[in-house]
Structures are given as C-alpha cells and as structure tokens.
Structure 1
C-alpha cells in the first residue's frame, strides 16, 4: 500500500488532483496540528483526525454521511434544470468525492435530506425491499375526510404503479395538517397518494428517515456530519 503523503490525503478529500493538492500545499495554507506543512511529499505516520486548509478545520474521513435541512426551491440534482441544486449548499470538494442524495425531495418540498458517497448506505435506505420508514408533515388544501384516511391506510393504486401503496401510520394534527409515514420512496409518492383520494398537498416537509429525526438545530440550507450512532441507527446496527 502506498505511503500516505500529504498530497494523497488532500486529493482523497476532494481538493482536486494530486497536482492541484501539491500546489495548494506549497501555498502554505495547509496545517496539521497547528503546524504549516509545505512539503506535499511528507509521509504521515498515521492519518490525522483533522487538517486545516485556508483556516478551516477539515475532518479527514473519506466516507461522507451528511444530514441537510433541505430548503424549498432547491433541486436534488447534480444537473438542475430550473433551480439551484442542494449540492451548491455543500463544500465543492464533496462533489469530487462523488456525493449523492439518498432519494430525493422535490423542489417544493423541504426537510430532512441525507447525502452520502457510500453506495451500500444509499442502497440500504433506498431499497424498496427494506421498506425504510419515512415520516412527513403534510399541509392539505382541504380537510382530510374519514373515508380518505381509511383509503390511505388500506392502500391506493397510483398511476403507472402495479402495487398498492399505503400509509404505515397517519396522524391528524388538525383538519388540514397530517403526519404520514410510508415505507416506499416512489416518485412524488406522498403527493400522489393524497391526490388519489381526492385531496391536494399544499406543503410537504420530511421529518424523519429510519427513525432518525431532522436535527432541530439545523436551519434551512444548513447541514452536518452524521454521528457514528446515527449511521448505526440507519443501518440497523444498534
């Protein structure tokens, strides 16, 4: 295994090619344990927990597990068509590290969005076979009728879908505000489910995935690294 040099470390963290990383190091803006390092080829005895680049402390793990409070008006796409991308809210180096969103929230929806560059993590949460539960706060255009509630709980057939989908739980907060939990992750599923029973979603906010709630300290557009215990919870390792 090649020795871990400073240039290799920076490149693995999304700071560009090894040539780009060498140039950055030689600018004198990279520190380890408070000491400026200007030699790109210095061999590191062990991987430091953090490095400092341009005054910003950077954790050195290559595996990204991110929670974001997605705001309204942003697309979950690397190539947005009409609006800004949620990826523009993250450090640009994350794009070099191949980060992706775990599922999507449409441009008119907000709330909990998970992102990662780990394929097994993304697959685990997206796989329909696992049925990872997702909970949403929904504001409706019209009061939810008892018959509509019963239909959602028993199952509805959506256009172009072969199997019925149903609410795993449904809790009315008011006449027009509902919390709904689903196990699939079909395109615009919650909006389509309410449309199928004759109602219309005005506002949609995701509250949790796999029992992990959106961190209430995060404001729209803000993000954080998931803790090990949060990752374990999502991967059912607890």
Structure 2
C-alpha cells in the first residue's frame, strides 16, 4: 500500500495533511525517514509518526445492490453515484470491485482492501461472476455452444474463456464468466448475433446478492474468505 494511503488508514488525517507531514520528513519507515508519498509499505514494515507506531484500522467490505441509472463513482455526474444512495461512512476511502454500467443492476462490492479486490478481478484468479441476462431474441443452441466454447470479441486478440449458460427461458439466461473485459457480457451476446436488453449481476465468487435494490450491508469474515 502507498505510504500516504497507509497513514490515512491509521489516522484521521486527510490526504492533503498526510502529504504535508511526509514532505516535512515526519514519517519513518523501519527507522528510515521517507519523504515520498508513493513509497510502498508492506505488512511487515513499521511506520512511525510523532514517536508512535501506526496501526491501520481493519479493512472494510460492503455489498451494495446497485439500481439502474446510477454510476459506479463517488460523485454524482449525469446519473447519481451509487455511493450517494448509501450512508456508508468515508466512502472516499473505498473503491468498487467490478464496476457496472449505468443501466446494469445488481451486486457491487466496495472495499478499501486493494490486495483482496485485485485477487477477485484479475483473470488469473478465475473468480466466477454470474449475470442474469435478458435478451432481445431467443437464444439458439448454436449460440450457447459458442459461448460455452469461447467467442472472439471485436478488438480482442484472444477468444473469451469458456462461459457457463443456464437457461431460465428462451430470452433469459444465467451467464457465468471468469473474466471482466470492457462491456464483456454485452459484447459476448453481440458476437453471437443477439442483444442484451437488461443485465443484472447476482453473484461474485461465493457471494450472492441477498439485499433489496438500493440497500447495502457489511460483508462478514466468512464471506470475505469465500
């Protein structure tokens, strides 16, 4: 973690105040004075400020049920920011894991644990994400076979990883993928000559969405491990 962010997590100082005390040489890491805010701090490092060893607050993990016509941001823009629908404290210290388009609903994860969120989203982690997909026209057997084998998306050099398809009805399916390319679900169905008319994420890894639209809750320790 960056030194400035580490200090913010250990204190009530703002990022501006933290930058100032670092520049003034008031921070020591393992006994060495550090004046670079981007300096990387690891779990084994000892960070001292004002003769006190700094200890970070516990990481925070939240589930949010994103409504349509909201954006994955801390600030309102053309659409309201999803964080503005919650009273989660200090959302400026959080980031969203796996952003959704404005018109897409469903499961969002908010956290300040960058290492954990990186492991969820990197393709090598192969963490499954499940979406309920409403389609413009009935899905064909051939399209299902293509998606389960992997399809080539426009602008990509490699086909998508094999997906899992579960039929709900002829125009609605559950799609499970382990990647997170830009607009991937919509592009996958475009590649098989169909169009997504509604998209809802219902699961990430072992975490299933279980709260009403617009609601949020903390993710417990067992769920974090899943």
SS state of the match for residue 151, structure 2?
coil
Inter-partner Cα distance in structure 2 for 1:209 and 1:65: 14
Deviation of the 1:80 alpha carbon: 5.0
Partner of 1:231: 224
Inter-partner Cα distance in structure 1 for 2:60 and 2:171: 38
**TM-score, length-normalised on structure 1?**
0.69
Q: Which runs of 5+ in 2 are unaligned?
A: 1-8, 18-56
Deviation of the 1:62 alpha carbon: 4.1
Cα 1:190–1:11 shift into 2, 3 Å: same
Q: Which runs of 5+ in 1 are unaligned?
A: 1-7, 18-60, 234-238
SS state of the match for residue 123, structure 1?
helix
Partner of 2:67: 71
Deviation of the 1:160 alpha carbon: 1.7
SS state of the match for residue 153, structure 2?
coil
Partner of 2:114: 119
Inter-partner Cα distance in structure 1 for 2:165 and 2:79: 32
> Is residue 62–residue 219 contact of structure 2 (8 Å, CA) maintained in 1?
yes
Inter-partner Cα distance in structure 1 for 2:108 and 2:83: 11
SS state of the match for residue 173, structure 1?
strand
Inter-partner Cα distance in structure 2 for 1:10 and 1:123: 24
| Pair 1:175-2:167 in alignment | no
Inter-partner Cα distance in structure 2 for 1:80 and 1:170: 35
Instruction: List, as ranges, runs of 4+ consecutive aligned residues in structure 1 with deviation greater than 4 Å.
Output: none
| Pair 1:82-2:78 in alignment | yes
Partner of 1:152: 147
Summarize the alignment of residues 29-40 of structure 1 with structure 2, pairs less than 5 Å apart: none
> Is residue 167–residue 181 contact of structure 1 (8 Å, CA) maintained in 2?
no
**TM-score, length-normalised on structure 2?**
0.73
Aligned residue among 149, 158, 164 for 2:159: 164
SS state of the match for residue 129, structure 1?
helix
| Pair 1:94-2:95 in alignment | no
| Pair 1:11-2:12 in alignment | yes
Deviation of the 1:164 alpha carbon: 0.5
Deviation of the 1:174 alpha carbon: 0.5
Inter-partner Cα distance in structure 1 for 2:10 and 2:146: 54
> Is residue 167–residue 180 contact of structure 1 (8 Å, CA) maintained in 2?
no
CA deviations on 1:5-63 (whole Å, 9 max, x unpaired) are xxx99837x9xx8xxxxxxxxxxxxxxxxxxxxxxxxxxxxxxxxxxxxxxxxxxx542
> Is residue 96–residue 108 contact of structure 2 (8 Å, CA) maintained in 1?
yes
